[in-house]
Structure 1
Amino acid sequence: MRCVLVEVRRVSVDSHVICTESTMRVEVEKSSFHGLHEDHLRLNDGANIACRLHSNSTYVFADIPLSGCGTELEEDGDNLRFKNEITTFDNTADVITRKHLLEVQFYCQYPKRGNVTLAFTVHRPIVSVWDRGFGRFTYQFEFYANDQYQAMVDSTSYPVVYEIGSRVYMQIEATSSVNNTVLFVESCRASPYDNQNSQQTYSIIENGCKVDPTVQIHSPSHPRQFRFSMKAFKFIGMFDQVYISCTVLMCAAGEPNTRSSQGCISSTTPATWPHNHHRRKREVRVESARHFVSQGPLRLKRSAESSESSALHLNLNLVFIAGCLLAAVGMISAVVLYKARMSKVKYQPLSTDER
């Protein structure tokens, strides 16, 4: 007979968790889990491609929405706790595992009671990029007050407040030192989170085509501008803010085989040139790479705020009516008092000496 000793140990890993009002960011140092490859690590919801872990030379990390990626909610009398974990897997289709080599549990805790504050990401600055063949150029994404595109929404007034159904005016403008260039907006989407990889999105423009039925394209003042508008909306659920993000690129003006010249590509639109011809044109840099620009948040006006002005007018009317009623009551009281005093006057006959 012989004895086999099995040693079971719990080894701590170096990790960091950053909690925001809508997401959790977890970072785990690679040096903490020797012998495991990051491709075999997953969150609770491993089937969702938007919930996959990312890595660099030092960390494995992920940005996780509080309402997605398998995040579980626990609560007690004082706190709300949003929990998730990183575990190992062999196959994405597996439901169970018997090789639980790593388990990193993490959570963000929020008190149910306390001082409530709202924190919004500030206005996005101008995006500056460099592209071979196009040099250095910039993109600026802004909201405007109306379809005249003269009054840009002040960056200090963000989040921009809208009523549901009102029209939101937007403009993307590119600046470049290269002449004869055209801006092309390939797609635009909305999300309730400030996260490019957010799973919950709503398409506004796809493949250069209008998807949202309320979208209107407005005339630009030059070819490196794109102006559009749509009716404001909100995401179903406990979301009161919207971020808009777009994929854009620069094209050489006058070239027949650029993405800009092709315009809207629906699923039924056939290709207008051979693939090898497109590749040859790409070699002479008639298009830039695709870039990502975003702006927000838009905050939808709450019902109490939308009725504030009407409530104010109603209150003023009530004050006026109450004042009139008080004045009328005062006048009636004065008349009654006067009549009461008059009724107290008694007439007495004069004495015979005074007749």
Structure 2
Amino acid sequence: MAPLSKLPMQFSFLVDPPAPSCQEGAFLPKFLTPTPANGGRFLAEVNKELEIRVKAQATDAKINNIVVSGPANIKKSQNTQGEFVLRWTPLPDDHGQHFVICFAVEAVKSPAVYQSEMRCVLVEARSEIVKSHVICNESSMTVSVEKASFPRLHEDHMQLNDPSNTACSLQRHSNSTHIIAIIPLNACGTQIEEDNENLIFKNEITTVDNPSDLITRKHQMEVQFYCQYSKQGNVSLSFVAHRKNITVCEKGFGTFTYQFEFYPNNQFQTMMDPAAYPLEYDIGKRIYMKIKATSSVNNTELFVESCRAAPYDNPNYQPTYSIFENGCKMDPTVQIHSPAEQKEFKFSMEAFKFIGLNNQVYISCSVMMCEAGNSNTRCSKGCINSTSTSPPRSKREAVIQSASHFVSQGPLRLRRSAESVRATATNLNLNLVFIAGCVLAAVGMVCGVVVYRAKVSKVKYQPLPTFES
């Protein structure tokens, strides 16, 4: 056998000190859900991105990296939930081949680096299984799937993540040849993820045995899709920040409208000008808010179940900051102001900002209408702590209370007091345009991706228009 080289070769190795403990989860990273099991199998379609999620924890060291071995064009990133995301797109020449992807997570406690066990999964590259197409625009995703891809399935037995609203029904836009869904980025169960560079909005079409069922044990198909938006980009679209009123028609309560507005002081007389949004507040300044319901039915009252703050106008965004939960005050600075009537709720709190780069905040509340004076309604129960028994939902049949409805308002642009002294009006306006509009920028849209997962598979943020029921 011929030698590798006629020249002497030298190697050096850096050996880390032994771990103080070999228990997984202490210094050595321990894998958590949704990390696939060692030896897991995946199906990947040619020219469509496969996503593998890896999460680990180490209580005595800091998770900081993932080491990956696999195809040359595999990419890795880390989202704000602490998950590593591996993405790989098979090329046409990969069709019919099998690929091994191995990974290990690293944790560091200076000067030592500790590695988890190595796990490997097997990926089979196939030709296109489900013919689909995704279009990403400023406030929604449009996905189109050819029915011929699954001839034995019908849209009656398919649904999005949250099909409870009729606007999220797949029958709404589908035709004889395609399943078509137009999904708002802040509705239909759309989930939001975030990394250092992008906001990613995800949803999926899944099969169900019966549209009224909550679970299924015959999971035949999942079509996952997402739209990815760059956090940075040039703004080329107009943007209306102020949220519109929400009008609801419900049996027993007729038509009623929710109005959620901000006010300059505790008089609650003149609401803030919608043209002034995004509103600017110094950290610690008191924010005054009022939610009002206008109903054609007398003897009704408004109840606010919960209010939360988030850097994006999306009810599924996590984490959020709780202001009210189960009718109880959660923020220590909250003050509830006496309402002028039963159909309004007035409160205030001190302004804050989310830690990090998010300088904007949306306030979102879950509200409902009840028959006034009826002790059996949720409204009459008021604050219910976690140990209390929730009121029976069967009372809904007597039409004494409405369903819960989601209302939001914002964004608020929050800054430190020192910033307000230094910044000029021009700089503020430029910052606001960048922060409020960058996610909506057409040039910032990266891609819409569909991922098909068959039964044999082992793997289980930006201003948006308010989605009205």
TM-score category of the 2 structures, normalised to the smaller one: 0.5 to 0.7
Separation in structure 1 between the aligned mates of residue 294 and residue 339 of structure 2, nearest angstrom: 14
- Mapped contact 1:16–1:26 kept (Cα < 8 A): yes
- Write out aligned runs for 1:10-29 (5 A): 10=128, 13-18=131-136, 20=138, 25=141, 27-29=143-145
2:353 to 234, 251, 255: 234
Relative contact order, CA 8 A, sep 6+: which one is greater?
2
Question: What amino acid sits opposite 1:300 in the alignment?
Answer: L
Separation in structure 1 between the aligned mates of residue 141 and residue 367 of structure 2, nearest angstrom: 27
Q: Give the secondary-structure state (helix, strand or coil) at the position aligned to 1:307.
A: helix
Separation in structure 2 between the aligned mates of residue 30 and residue 174 of structure 1, nearest angstrom: 43
TM-score, length-scaled by structure 1:
0.62
Separation in structure 2 between the aligned mates of residue 83 and residue 244 of structure 1, nearest angstrom: 21
Q: Give the secondary-structure state (helix, strand or coil) at the position aligned to 2:312.
A: coil
Are positions 1:301 and 2:415 aligned together?
yes
Aligned to 1:145: 264
TM-score, length-scaled by structure 2:
0.48
- Write out aligned runs for 1:25-104 (5 A): 25=141, 27-29=143-145, 31=147, 33-34=149-150, 56-57=170-171, 58-59=179-180
Deviations 1:139-180 (A, max 9, x none): 111000011111210111111111111111000111112211
Whichever structure has more helix as a proportion of its residues is 1
Aligned to 2:127: 9
Question: What amino acid sits opposite 2:272 in the alignment?
Answer: V
2:362 to 218, 240, 243: 243
- Mapped contact 1:83–1:105 kept (Cα < 8 A): no
- Write out aligned runs for 1:131-280 (5 A): 131-270=250-389, 275=392, 279=394
Cα 1:228–1:119 change in 2 (3 A) is farther
Separation in structure 1 between the aligned mates of residue 347 and residue 201 of structure 2, nearest angstrom: 39
Question: How many residues are matched?
Answer: 270
Deviations 1:121-141 (A, max 9, x none): 421222111111111111111
Aligned to 1:313: none
Cα 1:270–1:14 change in 2 (3 A) is closer
Separation in structure 2 between the aligned mates of residue 42 and residue 137 of structure 1, nearest angstrom: 28
Q: Give the secondary-structure state (helix, strand or coil) at the position aligned to 2:365.
A: strand
- Mapped contact 1:249–1:290 kept (Cα < 8 A): yes
Q: Give the secondary-structure state (helix, strand or coil) at the position aligned to 2:411.
A: strand
Q: Give the secondary-structure state (helix, strand or coil) at the position aligned to 1:220.
A: coil
Cα 1:264–1:108 change in 2 (3 A) is closer
Which structure 2 residue ranges, 5 or more long, are not aligned? 1-95, 98-125, 162-167, 172-178, 208-220, 425-469
Separation in structure 1 between the aligned mates of residue 204 and residue 141 of structure 2, nearest angstrom: 16
- Mapped contact 1:209–1:266 kept (Cα < 8 A): yes
Whichever structure has more strand as a proportion of its residues is 2
Deviations 1:77-129 (A, max 9, x none): xxx67789999999xxxxxxxxxx999887647596x7567965421222111
Separation in structure 2 between the aligned mates of residue 122 and residue 294 of structure 1, nearest angstrom: 11
Separation in structure 2 between the aligned mates of residue 290 and residue 86 of structure 1, nearest angstrom: 23
Aligned to 2:404: 290
Which structure 1 residue ranges, 5 or more long, are not aligned? 1-5, 44-53, 74-79, 91-100, 311-355
Deviations 1:44-75 (A, max 9, x none): xxxxxxxxxx872333676779xx866667xx
Separation in structure 2 between the aligned mates of residue 127 and residue 119 of structure 1, nearest angstrom: 22
Cα 1:83–1:217 change in 2 (3 A) is closer
Cα 1:105–1:156 change in 2 (3 A) is closer
- % identity of equivalent residues: 46
Separation in structure 2 between the aligned mates of residue 252 and residue 221 of structure 1, nearest angstrom: 18
Q: What's the C-alpha RMSD, in Å, of the aligned pairs?
A: 4.2
